[in-house]
A and B are shown apart, each in its own frame.
Chain A
């Protein structure tokens, strides 16, 4: 009798925490949707859903890159500053056309990623320290480039990127979806992706297996940098102005939260792309819910913190098994 109940309890606990880790983020998004549909005025409308998705898109794109970095047991704190660099560079090069302007921003993201990757992989600096340098320096550089000014964007093509639609779906959402799919394929199907996860799980073993550990690490930081730059371009287009002082501010924290809430462990060795996307959606919905119910943004941040702790706790439960 007693051992029967004991067995039931221990199995249940393990099963519950495993389920929470695997599906918790989806359940949380669903629960928030249901709550809002029932209790929040004017929530159930196409226009509102579109707004929510558009606002979640930049977080989602940055979080994708962050998920890869975290999968290698690293972290990239410089993503917000890379977005700021985009905000500074896009208006500067818009005179040459939309494509050169976007390219300039992406190249800047690539350069930052390359620097991060080299510092981490070849020089051996801790990721948190290496990327901290560019968190500070990147935004500083962006402000210098833009002379600390907010620059209006009048180019209609650029503005379309932020507010236009393809087949009724906002362009920003389409871009986020395509990038998500690409990264998902990259992780699951390619040599690069499989190596990335192995390196995150056991770096020495990967080295001894002859994997190009350093090159993969550099690649991961470069991808993260380019994705952050892309998110910066979209955010700038959406805003209709280059605002290096505020674009991407605290984005690194939102992205890390989305990744962790989505079930990617900070200890590396596993990357959950779908979870990350829903993590980004959850962050956006959480904030929207609180704001729409007349709670200030600062409260939203505290709730965000509670969610992080909860997610890490659930992940920990599993890690000790």
Chain B
């Protein structure tokens, strides 16, 4: 009897868990259960409470009310290390490792193999290399972690988390169910790496390790998850088997909207019509990037953007999409080539000049290159437009407040006030603040690098609708995205990059999923032939 109950007992659960922050209830009476050996999907919009729940489960936050139980016993994880000792490993969306230390050192950080009290480097390098091979990483483990791409770094983080988990497990006796929490692990992975990840998940699953999987990609959830929990506004809306749930039902629960409403609008919120009303040759392009070269990633890229046009930039990870956007902005110095905006040539490598001339870029890494975390929403929005809102260098508070109010309403930024620190906002709202910052500069061209990455479906829909609206207002948009649907639905024209060069250009009816894939794949065959 007792044994049986213990087997079915959740490995990790919250009972009526409540977590409060100043002004908001982040978790409201949430009773969540993670069963041993299951792959459990955790979904919800930004601000739904997913991150908070994960942080409670991993000891970063402590519950204000309710109880946290580990294998049926009430526990209190005062610090993340307490949760780790209980066999709960986490990999976060952003890689939390040390870029300057070697790959091997990162894998074994805090648990270095020692001999005579000194770190046994030979053993550490050997074991790290063996371990990482299973994750498809064959690089020299003595290199600094920072030399790897983001996707590969994430794989290292995963390897580290799982390895920690496995060693703890063998130390504590077999059969003890363990937990791995993955917070949007695939957001920066290439398709090939995603497959490797799924293999790893499958292996963990067979070992009886419970996995909590957070992702906005429904395909992935349906492919690997057994059960699902839906959070909305800090409350648990649904928990149950995933196979029983239709996608549209899942999405409607996340958004709290009618199924029929979502059907009408489709999976992306881009409109049907193409923006580029102007015929080829009739209008002057607002931006002409000609034969850009910025070694090593950008080798020969030319892109024209007309006013009111959304140009998609497709390609595999590492094809030079972000670097092209950065080169246009001047954040990467050009070796050769020119950027002409509205007929005027821009100086190379001068972001200030580009911004003043009317180019703005929404950077891929929101946390690192976007937000100024401890400043308020107001200051983040006006950051790039201060001279326009000032007289003789003195900032006008009235004009500033006006602009901020307008954009917060227009972009529906959810916050307690314009004075709230940006770091306290959810990912989707942070992204909207950044969009507001760039719109505030009244740009002619907006470079959007993965504008919907890592934000929830609701905010994603809003951002996509906004891109549409901006293009309709005559803005030229460069849309860098790894999501084919987003490119196909959102772009009037798609430029496909491969190894830093333009591999193809599609426009009008040619812009389809298959055509983009062909453009990428065709070139790959060529390369391998």
Binding site for B on A (CB under 8 A): 3, 6-7, 10, 189-192, 194-195, 197-198, 201-202, 204-212, 269-270
Contacts and interface: CB of A to CB of B under 8 A. Distances in A.
Contact of B386 (A7, A195, A207): A195
Interface in B350-388: 351-352, 354-356, 360-361, 363, 368-375, 379, 382-384, 386-387
Given A6-B64, A10-B64, A190 B371 contact: no
Interface stretch (B138-146, B188-196, B296-304, B390-398): B390-398
9 contacts: A191-B393, A194-B382, A195-B386, A197-B375, A201-B372, A205-B369, A208-B363, A210-B384, A269-B374
B372 A210 contact: no
A286 B252 CA distance: 63
Nearest to A270: B374
Contact of A206 (B20, B383, B394): B383
Contacts of B384: 209-211
Nearest to A8: B64
A260 B354 CA distance: 37
Interface string B316-355: 0000000000000101000000000000000000011011
A3 B20 CA distance: 12
Contacts of B368: 202, 204-205
B172 to A, nearest CB: 28
A190 B441 CA distance: 18
Nearest to B16: A3
B371 A3 contact: no
B66 interface: yes
A5 to B, nearest CB: 11
Interface string B53-82: 000000000111111000000000000000
Contact of A205 (B371, B394, B441): B371
B379 A7 contact: no
Contacts of B386: 191, 194-195
Given A10-B62, A202-B371, A210 B393 contact: no
A20 B2 CA distance: 51
A208 B361 contact: yes
B104 to A, nearest CB: 28
A205 B355 CA distance: 13
Nearest to B392: A190
Contacts of B453: none
Given A189-B395, A212-B352, A3 B372 contact: no
A66 to B, nearest CB: 20
Contacts of B62: 6, 10
Interface of B: 20, 62-67, 329, 331, 351-352, 354-356, 360-361, 363, 368-375, 379, 382-384, 386-387, 390, 393-395, 437, 441
A321 to B, nearest CB: 10
B437 A209 contact: yes
Nearest to B368: A204
Contact of A198 (B354, B360, B369, B383): B383
Nearest to B363: A208
A71 B66 CA distance: 41
Nearest to A197: B375
A270 B360 CA distance: 26
Contacts of A201: 372-375
Contact of B351 (A3, A198, A207): A207
Given A201-B373, A205-B371, 13 more contacts: A3-B65, A6-B62, A7-B20, A10-B62, A189-B394, A191-B387, A191-B393, A197-B375, A208-B351, A209-B355, A209-B384, A211-B352, A211-B383
A167 to B, nearest CB: 29
A191 B391 CA distance: 9
B372 A269 contact: yes
A7 B363 contact: no
A207 B356 CA distance: 13
A195 B371 CA distance: 13
Contacts of A205: 363, 368-372
Contacts of B374: 201, 269-270
Given A195-B386, A206-B372, A209-B384, A190 B394 contact: yes
Contacts of A270: 374
